[in-house]
Structure formats: C-alpha cells, structure tokens
Amino acid sequence: MKHTILLQVRNHAGVMAHVVGLFARRGYNIDSIAVGTREDPKISVITIIIDDQGNRDTIRQIDKQLRKLVDVISIRDFPYNESINRELALILLKFKPEQLREVMEIINVFGANVEDMTSETLLIDISAVSRKVRALIKTLADKFEVLEMTRTGEIALPYQNA
C-alpha cells in the first residue's frame, strides 16, 4: 500500500540530500519525490510517496528518523488513497501532418494541453494522477514518436476530512 509523507523543511542546500540519505541508509525505497518552496521562500515542502508494504511500523520508523533531522519543521503522513495527488509531464511528440487530428483527439481525451506546436511536433503538458500520465505516455508512444519527455514526482495534499 502506498503512503504519502509531507515534510516541511528549512530551505537551504543539503536538506534534500539528508532526507534522501536517511531513506537510503535505512533501505527504504522512494516511489516518488518532489520538492517546492512555500509562500515563505525559507521553507520547502517535500512530498514523498513510498510503498509501506502494508507495514505501519515502517511508517512509524521513517517518521521517527525524519524527526531527528534538524531541518525538518513538520511531518504529515497519510495513506495514498486519502489524498489528492498530481504529477506533471512534458512530452515532445513528432507526428505526420495527417496524424494531427488523431493526436489532438488523444490529447483532449486525456485532458492534456498543447503548449507549443510546429508543423511536425507538439509540446504537450499534462497534470494528472500518475496513472493517467502513464496512460497518456503509453498511448502516444504506441502511435507516434516521443522525441523527449520529462516528468515530475508527485505532489499531494490530504483530503480535508483525512
């Protein structure tokens, strides 16, 4: 079962390395990690998605270890299915002019956007749950040539009643 951990940390060099190092030293695998500053640039939020393998003790141990890091301000953790999660992907796609209509239909079905376009390339962005991002990438890769692609880690916030 996946689990989401939100860390508020002091925003300075080396903090991310300490957090990731803790996971590596303890042998915990990170499925996804994303970091961004808050409205106060002195604070960052790190979103970490892990597979706890149904073991609540793993989450307690991670929480305990993270609290020992001096730059950690606060920790929130919650089951993955009790949160709103999003991932961003940018996809540079090559297509033939006669395929434009098909490409646009796929983009629309997935709720993605065209950010830039030439006569034979599209720069597509999608912000969605990871499952949907993966499905779009697979659909496009099966039918067209993906020239370049980049994806963020997931970001998340718990449902209000969580």
Q: Domains in the chain and their CATH numbers?
A: 2-83 (3.30.70.260), 84-158 (3.30.70.1150)
Whether residue 17 is predicted with pLDDT greater than 70 in this model: the reply is yes
For residue 57, name the pLDDT band (cuts at 50, 70, 90).
Answer: confident
Query: Are the C-beta atoms of 121 and 148 separated by less than 8 Å?
Result: no
54 pLDDT tier (thresholds 50, 70, 90): low
The answer, yes or no, to whether residue 118 has pLDDT greater than 60, is yes
Q: Which residue has the tokens 């803790």?
A: 22
Beta partners for residue 25, in sequence order: none
The angle, 0 to 180 degrees and rounded to 10, between the axes of the packed helices 130-143 and 100-110 is 170
Tell me: pLDDT of 162 over 70: no
Residues 6+ apart with CB under 8 A from 79: 1, 2, 3, 4
Contact predicate 33/46, CB 8 Å:
yes
Q: Which range is least confidently modeled, 15-19, 43-47, 52-56, 119-123?
A: 52-56
Residue range 73-111, pLDDT digits in tens: 999 999 889 999 999 999 999 999 999 999 999 999 999
Does the pLDDT at position 160 exceed 70?
Answer: yes
What is the per-residue pLDDT across 122-158, written as a single tens digit (0 to 9) for each? 999 999 999 999 999 999 999 999 999 999 999 999 9
